[in-house]
């Protein structure tokens, strides 16, 4: 920027640029925001002898606005999603997520053009194929419903070919034949890549599309050689080229909206994209406070933010990135069959799932199901404490599925007749995951599950570039306290060891259902079947006494998810906002 001002004599300005530095000299990076203007400094004869910078620290203003936006975020989410029916339709037609797979980390962002919020023709796909990953980015010319409709048909046709196992060239040839029946699909461009997890081989075809950007682990960036294929309908065929990725290397597929930016020559913009990405990988650019992000998330989100914040973007921008990685080791736990086994399993499983990149919703569901399996193994399999009695295993497969199991070597013991609050645990576990199965035999019982793991793709329908956020740590330590008369606030894991504590506290505070009571479950990290039974029993007592009894949990929280599943009434929405602010 300083060089441009010096060379052209034209002032440059920026608004609310984010800067991370050690402003206080205390050895700790802080984040500030600045408005600034850079102007030429002229000599007496009118020549430019330097540049001058004037800036204002607007950190307080930015933080105040961000805080206000955060308070309004949930209430305005529905409005933002519905304000433009074409954009909503487009989002529904795009891939909602990217897979979690052992051989690569994947992320995707889609930015709708700030100057045209109508639906566009960009799309992306990341398709797990066992030992390989297929990556697709495409672009149909134009905007509006017609472009989105053509995009969705081409995306579906290509995805079907890839899933069926056809090589890249054959898949594109089939789509090229199909496009004759899709109005508006002529001259659509597509980049297709296939990464082999074992060898690092990356086969790709650039059908009229900008070539992928390869960024190595040692922070060098280069564009791959175009394969020589033209857009759909060009008749050039679909030749394929091959590259190799080492562990730690990343490949970025994108649409032309990223490099054809307002006020930038195409050549300069293309070079800037590669240089910036390499600098972020090398730690020379980017934001150090966000170093806890997964590397591929930093590459994607920080590249978009730094590249687009000074120019904006006039066309939709799609960025799909994958980083080759060493497959994570499977999880294997051998636990004593005690009342503490489920808590240990939850802690270790949460950590392992977080390390492989699982989304928080998937972590919550899988951890809940495995916890129920472990508690059943201890209770039904043995009935008494047994050393090394429970084995928990989990592995991530190349098809994007997590496969996990809990095994014991005891003999299944049914509960005594007449016991209440039983039978919810396994039913809840089966409802939370994609598949669940229990096998009982003379040598013990194995409860297994299969669950597809994915992470949401980022879809931005306004002019702001989305920033990746770090995963918040989970405090699973149980706590339950009376915040005010008639209100109990619960946090941490509510399982078979802590549910009885909560049950007694509810009984005392409500006087066995006589006094109205609200139980705030906002900060609960795990709500097991024993906790559900305690809450259901308290509701029944209140109902018999004709007293008010409310459970509060925000939509999307673990408690809300479980309570909705078992159809226990739960208060959310605006009420939970008031609870959070109160």
Tell whether the model's pLDDT for residue 132 goes beyond 50.
yes
Sort strands 317-324 and 104-111 into parallel, antiparallel or unpaired.
antiparallel
Alpha helices in 377-482 (DSSP H): 424-432
Separation between Cα atoms, residue 154 and residue 185, nearest integer Å = 8
User: Which of the listed ranges 204-208, 430-434, 567-571 does the model predict with the highest average pLDDT?
Assistant: 204-208
Whether 569 contacts 551, CB under 8 Å: yes
> Is the pLDDT confidence value at 553 over 70?
yes
Which residue reads 């013991």 in tokens? Answer: 413
Q: What is the DSSP string of 165-230?
A: T--HHHHHHHHHHHGGGSTT-TT-EEEEEEEETTT-EEEEEEESSPPPEEE-TTS-EEEPPP----
* Average of per-residue pLDDT across 578-582: 33
For 331-456, CATH gives 3.30.565.10
Q: Is the confidence at residue 574, as pLDDT, over 60?
A: no
* pLDDT mean over 289-294: 70
> What pLDDT, in 10s, does the model give residues 507-535?
999 998 899 999 999 999 999 888 999 99
pLDDT tier at 401, thresholds 50, 70, 90: very high
Q: What is the reported pLDDT for 555? A: 86
Residues 193, 126: Cα–Cα separation, whole Å: 10
Question: pLDDT band at 111, cuts 50/70/90?
Answer: confident
Residue 383 CA: distances (Å) to CA of 378, 386, 389: 6, 9, 11
Q: Taking residues 496-500, what's their average pLDDT?
A: 89
pLDDT at residue 153 greater than cutoff 60: yes
Q: Three-state SS for 336? A: strand
Residues 533-542 as b/e (b if ≥16 CB within 10 A, e otherwise) read bbbbbbbebb
- Residue holding tokens 């409005």? 79
Picking from 31, 24, 63, 15, the residue whose alpha carbon sits closest to that of residue 291 is 31
Query: What class is the 86-324 domain?
Result: alpha beta
Paired tokens of 89: 């339709």
Mean pLDDT of the chain: 86
Nearest partner of 402 among 348, 341, 357, judged by Cα: 357
- Which run of H or E residues covers position 364? helix 360-376
Superfamily of domain 2-61 in the CATH hierarchy: PAS domain (3.30.450.20)
CA 545 to chain centre: 45
Token pair of 200 as six digits = 């690092």
The burial class, CB within 10 Å (0-12 / 13-18 / 19+), for 57 is middle
Q: Say how far apart CA 418 and CA 387 lie, in whole Å.
A: 30
Provide mean pLDDT across the span 185-194: 93
Structure tokens, 290: 């966000």
Cα-based angle 232, 235, 238 (whole degrees, multiple of 5): 70
Burial (CB < 10 A; 0-12, 13-18, 19+), residue 122, is: buried
Residue 188 has pLDDT above 60, yes or no: yes
How many alpha carbons fall within 13 Å on the CB side of residue 429? 26
pLDDT band at 421 (very low <50, low <70, confident <90, very high): very low
Q: In this predicted structure, what is the pLDDT of residue 420? A: 45
* pLDDT score recorded for residue 386: 83
The count of other CB atoms within 10 Å of the CB of residue 144 is: 15
Q: Is pLDDT above 50 for 390?
A: yes
Q: What is the predicted pLDDT for the residue at 158?
A: 97
Domain boundaries, the chain: 2-61, 86-324, 331-456, 475-581
The model's pLDDT over 355-381, given as tens digits with 9 standing for 90+, comes to: 999 999 999 999 999 999 999 888 876
**CA pair distance 451, 362, nearest whole angstrom:** 8
Distance in angstroms (rounded) separating the CA atoms of residues 277 and 216: 10
Q: What is the pLDDT of residue 292?
A: 65
Cα–chain center distance at 521: 24
Q: What is the pLDDT of residue 76?
A: 62
* pLDDT score, position 579: 32
In angstroms, how far is CA 39 from the centroid of its own chain? Answer: 41
User: What pairs with residue 391 in β-bridges?
Assistant: 334, 407
pLDDT for position 112? 80
DSSP of 475-498: ----EEEEEETTEEEEEEEE-TTT
- Is the pLDDT assigned to residue 470 strictly greater than 60? no
E strand or H helix that includes residue 537: helix 529-545
Residue 114 confidence (pLDDT) above 70: no
- Report pLDDT for 441: 82
Residues of the chain above pLDDT 70, percent: 88
| Dihedral angle, C-alpha 227, 232, 233, 238, nearest 10 ° | 30
What was the pLDDT predicted at 383?
67
Residues 380-396, mean pLDDT to the nearest whole number: 85
In whole angstroms, give the CA distance from residue 162 to residue 127.
8
Q: Residues 190-236: pLDDT tens digits?
A: 999 999 999 999 999 999 999 999 999 999 999 999 999 999 999 99
Confidence of residue 573 (pLDDT cuts 50, 70, 90): very low
Alpha helices in 50-188 (DSSP H): 59-82, 85-93, 145-163, 168-178
pLDDT at residue 125 tops 90: yes
Higher pLDDT, 141 or 328: 328
Question: What are the Cα distances from residue 288, in Å, to 23, 31, 278?
Answer: 14, 9, 15
Report the interhelical angle of 529-545 vs 499-510 (nearest 10°): 10
More confident residue, 341 or 574: 341
Higher pLDDT among residues 196 and 293, named by residue:
196
The architecture CATH gives domain 475-581: 2-Layer Sandwich (3.30)
Other C-beta atoms lying within 10 Å of the C-beta of residue 551: 22
Provide the percentage of residues in the chain whose pLDDT is more than 90: 54
**Partners of residue 141 on adjacent β-strands:** none
Identify the pLDDT of residue 436.
Answer: 92
Structure tokens, 187: 């001259």
Q: What is the pTM of this model?
A: 0.76
3-state helix/strand/coil string of 553-565: CCCCCHHHHHHHH
> What pLDDT was estimated at residue 284?
85
């Amino acid at each position: 920027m300083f060089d441009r001002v010096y060379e052209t004599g034209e002032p440059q300005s920026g608004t609310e640029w984010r800067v991370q530095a050690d402003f206080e000299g205390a050895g700790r990076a802080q984040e500030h925001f600045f408005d600034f203007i850079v102007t030429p400094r002229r000599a007496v004869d009118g020549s430019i002898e330097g540049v001058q910078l004037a800036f204002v620290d607007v950190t307080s203003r930015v933080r105040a606005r961000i805080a206000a936006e955060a308070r309004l975020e949930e209430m305005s989410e529905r409005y933002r999603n519905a304000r433009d029916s074409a954009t909503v339709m487009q989002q529904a037609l795009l891939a909602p997520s990217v897979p979690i797979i052992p051989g690569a980390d994947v992320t995707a962002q889609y930015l709708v053009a700030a100057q045209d919020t109508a639906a566009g023709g960009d799309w992306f796909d990341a398709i797990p194929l066992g030992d390989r990953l297929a990556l697709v980015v495409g672009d149909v010319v134009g905007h509006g419903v017609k472009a989105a409709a053509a995009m969705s048909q081409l995306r579906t046709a290509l995805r079907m070919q890839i899933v069926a196992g056809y090589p890249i060239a054959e898949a594109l040839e089939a789509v090229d034949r199909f496009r004759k029946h899709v109005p508006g699909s002529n001259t659509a461009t597509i980049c297709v890549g296939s990464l082999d997890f074992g060898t690092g081989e990356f086969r790709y075809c650039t059908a009229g599309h900008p070539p992928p950007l390869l960024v190595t682990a040692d922070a060098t960036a280069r564009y791959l050689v175009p394969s020589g294929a033209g857009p759909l309908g060009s008749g050039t065929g679909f030749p394929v080229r091959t590259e190799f990725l080492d562990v730690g290397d990343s490949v970025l597929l994108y649409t032309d909206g990223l490099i054809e930016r307002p006020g930038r020559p195409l050549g300069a913009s293309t070079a800037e994209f590669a240089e910036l990405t390499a600098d972020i990988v090398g730690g020379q650019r980017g934001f150090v406070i966000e170093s806890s992000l997964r590397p591929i998330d930093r590459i994607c989100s920080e590249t978009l933010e730094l590249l687009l914040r000074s120019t904006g973007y006039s066309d939709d921008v799609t960025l799909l990135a994958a980083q080759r990685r060493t497959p994570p080791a499977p999880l294997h736990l051998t636990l004593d069959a005690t009342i503490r086994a489920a808590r240990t399993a939850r802690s270790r499983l949460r950590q392992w799932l977080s390390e492989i990149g699982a989304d928080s919703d998937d972590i919550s569901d899988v951890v809940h199901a495995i916890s129920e399996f472990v508690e059943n193994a201890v209770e039904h399999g043995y009935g008494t404490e047994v050393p090394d009695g429970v084995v928990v295993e989990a592995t991530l497969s190349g098809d994007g599925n997590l496969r996990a199991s809990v095994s014991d070597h005891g003999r299944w013991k049914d509960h005594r007749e007449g016991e209440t609050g039983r039978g919810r645990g396994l039913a809840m576990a089966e409802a939370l995951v994609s598949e669940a199965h229990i096998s009982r035999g003379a040598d013990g019982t194995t409860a297994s599950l299969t669950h597809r793991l994915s992470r949401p793709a980022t879809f931005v329908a306004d002019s702001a570039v989305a920033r990746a956020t770090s995963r918040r740590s989970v405090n699973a330590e149980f706590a339950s306290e009376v915040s005010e008369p008639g209100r109990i606030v619960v946090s941490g894991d509510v399982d078979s060891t802590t549910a009885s504590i909560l049950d007694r506290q509810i009984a005392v505070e409500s006087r066995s259902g006589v006094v109205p009571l609200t139980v705030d479950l906002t900060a609960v990290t795990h709500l097991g079947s024993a906790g559900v039974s305690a809450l259901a029993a308290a509701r029944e007592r209140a109902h018999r006494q004709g007293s008010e009894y409310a459970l509060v949990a925000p939509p999307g929280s673990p408690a809300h998810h479980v309570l909705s599943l078992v159809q226990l009434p739960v208060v959310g929405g605006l009420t939970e906002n008031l609870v959070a602010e109160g």
